[in-house]
Structure 1
Amino acid sequence: MTTTDAREQQRALYGAPLGELAAEVMSVLGLTQGKLAHTLGLSAPMLSQLMSGQRVKIGNPSVVHRLQSLITLSRNASGLSADQVASELESIRDEQHTLTGTSRDNSDTEAAVQALGASATGAQLSQVAAAADVAGADALAALLRRAAGAARG
């Protein structure tokens, strides 16, 4: 399959080639390709392959959802303050990495948030969340940030 074929398949799946969509999002929101990959929950090499047409499809539906959210944000960004855009970006990045969790999964997650919040201060949990971000453990970082919000003191 040629990259032209791949881009046409992407156009059919996503409305435009992923390289074009990513370029629009990065330009409007001031993101680097690495920051975009991090926000989407993809590795930088995977995003690069998708953007160049070496790969056609995003396999994870939650990544597709975050991409759709970023496209919507980029198209509405002109009416938002920089702080609002930053907050929306963080919210998109922190979304659950699966859209198909069960209610048991959600209650288990909530129990973990509460237990972590009761065991450390918000500042401590935020510090660990930042370390998890650096390590690329996005789901763990999001959980820790939620726990920081529920933490004692």
Structure 2
Amino acid sequence: MSTVAEEPAGARTARGREQQRELYGAPLGDRVRRLTCALGISQARLARTLGISPAMLSQLVSARRVKIGDPAVLARLLMLDQRCDAARMPPVPQAVDALLDEVARARWQWAGPRIPAPRGRRGPARGSAADALRSIAEPARLAAAAAALGPAFPELAEVLRQAAGRSGSRHPA
């Protein structure tokens, strides 16, 4: 029986890429190449934007490392991937700089990535799950849903309570 150390490098890489495909829908090398080409940036610049070292990104791209361990890094990668899909191609360099700055400043919270307001503007962060729920239901309905889900799904109930404006309360008012 062979051990991982005895497994040929090509087989380890193929296995790593397949695991990434299962986790992320595609090997990370494919996603990173698409982003760096579309934005006209280096892998090192992408790594800085995501909040990881260039060496760590290189290991992920080559599938020597399979998983992104930090949820904030994964959230930034997903955010950049979504924004890149919606961006005008080829992008204007100033727009790329602004996009990378926005993604780098995004902070992960359990309710989702919190995107800071553009510089010079005040206002709440956009894009959380609670914000999305508020856009489709009244606070009373969100509180009722939280009460119904609370015993079986406390994490989901907490997001509903936050959206209803009752963060941290265990029972709707």
**TM-score by shorter chain over 0.5:** yes
| Cα distance per residue 1:26-62 (max 9 Å; x no partner) | 0001110110100000111100000001000000001
- Alignment RMSD: 2.6
Mapped contact 1:7–1:53 kept (Cα < 8 A) = yes
Query: Which stretch shows the higher mean deviation, 31-40 or 79-88?
Result: 79-88
Partner of 1:15: 25
Ranges of 4+ aligned residues in structure 1 off by more than 6 Å: none
AA of the residue aligned to 1:94: R
Aligned counterpart for 1:90 among listed residues 91, 95, 101: 101
TM-score between the two structures when normalised by the length of structure 1 = 0.61
Aligned counterpart for 1:64 among listed residues 74, 99, 108: 74
Q: Which has the larger radius of gyration?
A: 2
Instruction: State the number of aligned residues.
Output: 106
Partner of 1:78: 88
Report deviation, 1:87: 1.5
Q: What are the ranges of 5 or more consecutive residues in structure 2 without an aligned counterpart? A: 5-11, 112-117, 122-173
For CA contacts below 8 A with separation 6 or more, give which structure has more relative contact order.
1
1:39 maps to 2:49:
yes
| Cα distance per residue 1:88-138 (max 9 Å; x no partner) | 221101112x4249xxxxxxxxxxxxxxxxxxxxxxxxxxxxxxxxxxxxx
AA of the residue aligned to 2:29: G
Aligned counterpart for 1:3 among listed residues 13, 18, 29: 13
Report deviation, 1:84: 3.3
TM-score between the two structures when normalised by the length of structure 2 = 0.54
For the residues of structure 1 that align with 2:50 and 2:41, how far apart are their CA atoms? 12
For the residues of structure 1 that align with 2:38 and 2:104, how far apart are their CA atoms? 17
